[in-house]
Amino acid sequence: MSFTDVLLLMFGAVLVENFIFSKFYGCCPFLGVSEKPATALGMGMAVTFVMTISSAATWAVYYLILEPLGLQYLKTIAFILIIAALVQLIEMFLRRFVPALYAALGIYLPLITTNCAVLGAALVNIQKGYGFGASVAYGFAAALGFTLAIVIFAGVRVRLQFADPPRAFRGFPLTLIAAGLLAMAFSGFAGIRF
Amino acid sequence: MKEKLKGCLRQLGEGLFSNNPVLIQLLGLCPTLAVTTSVNNAVGMGLAATAVLICSNLFISLLRRFIPRQVRIAAYIVIISGFVTSVELLMKAYFPALDRALGLFIPLIVVNCIILARAEAFASKNGPLASVVDGLATGLGFMLALVLIASVREILGAGTFWGMPLFGEGFKPAIIFLLPSGAFLTLGFLIAGVQKICNIRDDRRKLEGTDPEKEELA
């Protein structure tokens, strides 16, 4: 894959095939921790951090360990364990060496293990047969797309607090409908093809 | 025996309606939004998740005295992903078309919060039989919600139900319901409907001052 291919892949992963609005990976944190733009940004940064590293780690484990041994069918189990261990390691490392970043990301890190975007990116990398560089780039770009979506949506939700909807729509339904409208805007990118 | 049966029925009712994992507890939204473009996919996903839920609940319940508290989540994830892998392989072998349609959402059952939530909240504290019933009830509740959403999306978005055309030639489907935004909108309106029903019930209870437990059974 040439450099331009990788760039186009990244562009596609951020906008055209946005993880939330076109693939639905990572909807739980998207709807759960998007009440304030600041927390949304924290979550997005934590996901970006973990997803980039886990894309590299899962690629290495799949092609260096599982494939030579013919154990490809164990990839789901192996990947989720790698991600869980990685999240734990990153948490310990940050607490020890980068306390400022730990304070900013701390509470979001444990939630990332069960974020399907992280496992989803790892599995897409294998399914599409990306090389190492492309895998890392794809993981990073997909996480950027996730961050973009969650931060925009948090901005929308701040406005929703002043709305006065019918009683049945209060809370979650209104949030979902706002997400639907945002998804409609993002589906405008679907026309972009290279 | 009769008491036990009554308890099981009550559990089923809770999983399907009053404590529905998607419509009331708002869990497992990624697969809910993603695979509900057709009723066929919804049933396939529902069955796969139910199978995993029953097996993982059973094993976690049987092992609940042996799993140390500190590493319980990791242990649950390993048990769940083992069953998910089995389901994935079975599906690839016997239902290849469905496997292609559901794509990565079969392996992603591993990180479905419904399954981990039932493991943590129910199977780790209750006996094997009750846990199996709980898995079945929650799984069926998940499937019910999926089928409801998928029916709306498939009928309005494609004009079909389970692949069969419902309307004549002149029907122009609203494609928006098959697009991602349609998924968010449909689920939003469905949950609003559920909240409306809950509101009406609560208001009536307040007016009549009835015992909520009795009404639940009725």
CB A80, CB A119: distance < 8 Å: yes
A74-81 mean pLDDT: 92
Q: What is the span of the domain harbouring residue A14? A: 3-191
- Nearest Cα residue to A25 out of A136, A140, A115, A155: A115
Please list every residue in chain A whose beta carbon sits closer than 8 Å to the beta carbon of residue B74: 81, 84
CB B91, CB A95: distance < 8 Å: no
Write down the mean pLDDT value for chain A. Answer: 89
* A21-30, A52-61, A97-106, B61-70: least confidently modelled range: A97-106
**pLDDT for the residue numbered B2:** 78
CB contact under 8 Å between A168 and B195, yes or no, is: yes
**pLDDT for the residue numbered B218:** 43
Domain count, chain B: 1
CA distance A156 to B187: 19
CA distance A174 to A163: 10
Distances (CA, A) of B112 to A6, B96, B99, B162: 31, 22, 17, 25
Q: Which pLDDT band, with edges at 50, 70 and 90, does A192 fall under?
A: low
Q: How many CB pairs under 8 A join A and B?
A: 121
CA distance B182 to B173: 13
φ, ψ dihedrals at B160, nearest 5°: -130, 165
Query: Would you state the structure tokens that stand for residue B216, as one six-digit string?
Result: 């639940």
Dump the DSSP string for B4-35.
Answer: HHHHHHHHHHIIIIIT-TTTTT---HHHHHHS
Each residue's pLDDT, cut to its tens digit, for chain B (218 residues) gives 778 888 888 888 888 888 899 998 888 888 899 999 999 999 999 999 999 999 999 999 999 999 998 888 889 999 999 999 999 999 999 999 999 999 889 999 998 889 988 998 999 999 999 999 999 999 999 999 999 999 999 999 988 888 888 887 778 888 889 999 999 999 999 999 999 999 998 888 888 876 555 555 44
**pLDDT for the residue numbered A100:** 82
Q: Which pLDDT band, with edges at 50, 70 and 90, does A115 fall under?
A: confident
Residue A81 vs residue B211, higher pLDDT: A81
Closest residue to A120, CB basis, from B26, B27, B108 = B108
Domain count, chain A: 1
Please list every residue in chain A whose beta carbon sits closer than 8 Å to the beta carbon of residue B110: 76, 80, 119
pLDDT at A119 over 60: yes
CB contact under 8 Å between A116 and B111, yes or no, is: yes
pLDDT at A106 over 70: no
CA distance B198 to A49: 41
**pLDDT for the residue numbered B152:** 94
In sequence order, the 6+-apart residues with CB closer than 8 A to the CB of B74 are A81, A84
Chain A contact for B171, CB < 8 A?
no
In sequence order, the 6+-apart residues with CB closer than 8 A to the CB of A133 are A1, A6
Please list every residue in chain B whose beta carbon sits closer than 8 Å to the beta carbon of residue A77: 78, 81-82, 85
A4 CA: distance to closest CA in chain B (Å): 27
